[in-house]
A and B are shown apart, each in its own frame.
Chain A
C-alpha cells in the first residue's frame, strides 16, 4: 500500500481507529516515502506503540515487536542457535543414526537457527513492520548495535553468511525518554514528539475505543483528564488512561466524570498514591 500524501496517511490511520494529528501523519508519511526509521517520543500513554501496531494493520504487514529492557543483548534481538537441538543432533550423530561427515555442517544450518525479532523483520523485508519498543530502557551497547543494523539493514551470521534485503522493513522506534538516545541514532531516523491530544481529539479517541460510551461522557472524561494533566503529577494520565477511565465509568453507568462514580473509578486514570492524594486535594476544581 502506497500513500500519495500526508493527508492520505492521516485518513488511512483514522480508518484503523487511530487519530493522529497532522504532524504525526506527516512524519509517518515521510518515514514510509523516504524509507527511514521513525523515532517517536512522548510521555507514556500517548499512543506511541499503537502507531506501530496500526501501521502494520494498515500496510497488511507482519508486526514484529522487539520489547527492550535493561540488559537486552544482540542474541535476544537477532538470532541464537538452538543449542539444545544441536546437542540432541550431536548425540544422534554419535550413535550413528545419521552419517557423520556431510551432516556436521548442518549443525549450524537454518534448522538450528532461532530467529529473533530483528532478523525476522529483516528477512521479511517490506512485508514487516519492526516495532522497537521503549528503546530508552535498553543499554547504550544495545543502541549501538541497533544503529549498526539500521544503517545498512544487513546482518551477518558467521555460520550462514550475510543477510541483506532489497526493501527494508518499516521501522518504528519508541522511547519514553527516561534517558536521552544517542545523536547518531537520531540522525538515522525521522523524529516526532507526540503531544497529549487536545480535548476534542481525545473525546473522539475515547468514542472510537470504548464501545457503548455516550458522547457526553467521552467529552467529560477528556475535559477532566486535561485538567488532571495540568496538575503537577508524577505520572500524567495518557490517552490510554483516559480510555480506561471512560470504560470504567461506562461500566458503572455514570453519565459524566463527576461525583462519587468518578472518585471511585479514579484509579483507572491516576495510578500513583502521591498523585491520588494530589488529585484528592484539588478535587473541587477538577470536577466543577
Chain B
C-alpha cells in the first residue's frame, strides 16, 4: 500500500507506529528518511529498525506495522527473546516468633482502635532507603584526597601542602514509591497499608504513593495531610475501583508509561503491596515487572498471604512477578514492615 509520495508514506508509517506505542516523533521520521535515502529500496526494513526502534520489545510491533505498509519484512528471525533477570528472591524476611503482641498481630485481625495505635508506631519505622552517590562531590573530613583544594590551600603556606583536604561523593537518599493494591481480596490489609504509606510519605517529601485495583491512581497528595484516617477516606474517594478485582499488569503498565521513563521510578526503591491474585494476563504482568526491575533500583513485593507459613506463591500472577522481585516479604504486621525497613538498609547499604 506504499503511496506515490514516499515522504507521505513514511509519515503515515511513523504515525501507525506511534499508534502502536513506539515513540516515533517527526524527528525520528526525518531520521528514517535520511537513512532510507542511503540504502537500497529493499533495505528499508533495516533503516527503520535502526532509526525507529529503541528497545527489543518494540521489534514485534514494528514488524507487524512494516508488514501492513510494505509487505512481509525480510529479517533473519532470531531465537525468541528472553530478557535477563536477576532471580534473587529473599524468602525469610520478617516473622521470627508469634508472640501475641500488637507488633506481631496480623493487620487482618486488628480492630479499628488497634490500627489507630499501629498508625502511631508506623510513623516511627525508620525507612532506611538506600542512598545513591551523586555526581557532585562535597568537602568531607575523610574520603579521597581533594587535590584541588589542597593545592589552593598550599598557596597560603608558601606552596607546601600542609593542610590537606578531602572530599567524597555527596550521597542522596533514593526515592521510595509505594504501590498499594486496594482490591477486594486485600480488604483486610488495605487500611493498614494506607496508614503505612501515610507514615512513609511524611518522612520524605520526595516519596510517592499510588493505589491500584482495576485502575491506578496517584494518592500522594491525598496522603499528605496530618490525619491518617482522613487521608484514608480521601484515598478511598480517589480510588474508584475500591473493592473491585485486580489487574496488576495493566496498572503497572500505566504506572510505567506515565511515571516510569519520566524519572519517578528510575533508580527508586519500589514497594508493591499486593496478594498477587491477579485477574489480568500473567504474561503482561511478567513483562511489566521486567520493565520495572530494569528501571527501579530495587523492587520489593509485600504479600500479606506470605504471613501464613503454609503459603506458597502459586497464583499465576505472583509466579510471573517473582523472578523480577529483589525482596519478597509479607508486610502483614508491624514486625514485618519494620523488618523490611531494616532489610533494605542492611542488604543494600546506606
Residues of A within 8 A of B (CB): 5-6, 21-23, 26-27, 29-31, 33-34, 39, 41, 43-44, 71, 73-74, 81, 83-84, 86-87, 90-91, 93-94, 139-142, 145, 176-180, 182-183, 186-187, 190-193, 195-196, 198, 226, 229-230, 234-236
Structural contact, A6 and B43, CB atoms closer than 8 A: yes
Total of A-B residue pairs, C-beta within 8 Å:
134
Structural contact, B169 and A180, CB atoms closer than 8 A: no
Give the contacting residue for B50; candidates A27, A178, A187; CB below 8 A. Answer: A27
Q: Which residues of A sit under 8 angstroms from B266, Cβ to Cβ?
A: 140, 180
Q: Known: A30-B39, A94-B159, A187-B28. Is A177-B148 also a contact (CB below 8 A)?
A: no
B23 at the A interface (CB under 8 A): yes
Residues B245-278 near A (CB distance < 8 A): 261, 266-267
Q: Known: A34-B34, A183-B54, A198-B76. Is A23-B49 also a contact (CB below 8 A)?
A: yes
Interface stretch (choices B149-157, B217-225, B314-322): B149-157
Give the contacting residue for B135; candidates A6, A27, A73, A183; CB below 8 A. Answer: A73
Q: Which residues of B sit under 8 angstroms from A176, Cβ to Cβ?
A: 84
Instruction: Give 17 pairs: A residue, B residue, CB < 8 Å, sorted on A.
Output: A5-B40, A22-B46, A26-B50, A29-B38, A30-B50, A41-B55, A41-B56, A73-B135, A81-B148, A87-B150, A87-B154, A87-B161, A139-B133, A186-B55, A226-B79, A234-B87, A236-B84
Structural contact, B79 and A26, CB atoms closer than 8 A: no
10 closest residue pairs by CB, A with B: A195-B78, A83-B147, A94-B159, A26-B46, A141-B135, A186-B54, A190-B50, A27-B50, A193-B56, A90-B159
Closest chain-A Cβ to B87's Cβ sits at a distance in Å of 6
Q: Which residues of A sit under 8 angstroms from B158, Cβ to Cβ?
A: 94
- Apart from A6-B39, A34-B38, list 8 A-B contacts with CB within 8 A: A23-B75, A26-B50, A29-B39, A81-B148, A86-B147, A141-B134, A178-B84, A234-B87
Q: Which residues of A sit under 8 angstroms from B99, Cβ to Cβ?
A: none
CA distance A125 to B174 in the complex (A): 38
B10 at the A interface (CB under 8 A): no
Structural contact, B78 and A34, CB atoms closer than 8 A: no
Closest chain-A Cβ to B270's Cβ sits at a distance in Å of 13
Q: Known: A33-B38, A94-B159, A183-B23. Is A193-B59 also a contact (CB below 8 A)?
A: yes
Closest chain-B Cβ to A100's Cβ sits at a distance in Å of 11
Q: Which residues of A sit under 8 angstroms from B38, Cβ to Cβ?
A: 29-30, 33-34
Structural contact, A177 and B294, CB atoms closer than 8 A: yes
Q: Mark B54-86, 1 if CB is under 8 A from A, else 0.
A: 111001000000000000000110110011100
CA distance A176 to B56 in the complex (A): 12
The interface size of chain B toward A, counting residues with CB under 8 Å, comes to 49
Structural contact, B47 and A236, CB atoms closer than 8 A: no
CA distance A245 to B289 in the complex (A): 34
Closest chain-A Cβ to B319's Cβ sits at a distance in Å of 13
Closest chain-B Cβ to A54's Cβ sits at a distance in Å of 18
CA distance A187 to B160 in the complex (A): 50
CA distance A166 to B229 in the complex (A): 64
B291 at the A interface (CB under 8 A): yes
Kindly report which residue of chain A lies nearest to residue B266, judged by CB atoms: A140
B53 at the A interface (CB under 8 A): yes
Q: Which residues of B sit under 8 angstroms from A229, Cβ to Cβ?
A: 79
B116 at the A interface (CB under 8 A): no
B91 at the A interface (CB under 8 A): no
Give the contacting residue for B147; candidates A23, A84, A198, A235; CB below 8 A. Answer: A84
Kindly report which residue of chain B lies nearest to residue A93, judged by CB atoms: B159
CA distance A23 to B54 in the complex (A): 14
CA distance A190 to B132 in the complex (A): 30
Closest chain-B Cβ to A157's Cβ sits at a distance in Å of 14
CA distance A176 to B84 in the complex (A): 9
Structural contact, B84 and A43, CB atoms closer than 8 A: yes
CA distance A74 to B169 in the complex (A): 13
CA distance A54 to B157 in the complex (A): 53
Kindly report which residue of chain B lies nearest to residue A233, judged by CB atoms: B82
Q: Mark B25-42, 1 if CB is under 8 A from A, else 0.
A: 001100100110011100
B185 at the A interface (CB under 8 A): no
CA distance A128 to B135 in the complex (A): 27
Structural contact, B84 and A177, CB atoms closer than 8 A: yes
CA distance A140 to B263 in the complex (A): 10
Closest chain-A Cβ to B103's Cβ sits at a distance in Å of 36
Kindly report which residue of chain A lies nearest to residue B83, judged by CB atoms: A177
Q: Which residues of B sit under 8 angstroms from A21, Cβ to Cβ?
A: 76
Kindly report which residue of chain B lies nearest to residue A195, judged by CB atoms: B78
Q: Which residues of A sit under 8 angstroms from B291, Cβ to Cβ?
A: 180
CA distance A53 to B65 in the complex (A): 35
Structural contact, A71 and B133, CB atoms closer than 8 A: yes
B295 at the A interface (CB under 8 A): yes
Task: Count chain B CB atoms within 10 A of each CB in A74, A91, A176, A235 and give the residue with the most.
Answer: A91
Closest chain-A Cβ to B166's Cβ sits at a distance in Å of 13
CA distance A84 to B43 in the complex (A): 55
Q: Known: A5-B40, A195-B78, A198-B76. Is A90-B55 also a contact (CB below 8 A)?
A: no
Structural contact, B135 and A145, CB atoms closer than 8 A: yes
Residues B202-216 near A (CB distance < 8 A): none
Residues B159-178 near A (CB distance < 8 A): 159-161, 169
Q: Which residues of A sit under 8 angstroms from B155, Cβ to Cβ?
A: 90
Q: Known: A30-B50, A87-B151, A94-B158. Is A74-B294 also a contact (CB below 8 A)?
A: no
Q: Which residues of B sit under 8 angstroms from A180, Cβ to Cβ?
A: 55, 261, 266, 291, 294-295
Q: Known: A34-B38, A192-B49, A229-B79. Is A90-B154 also a contact (CB below 8 A)?
A: yes
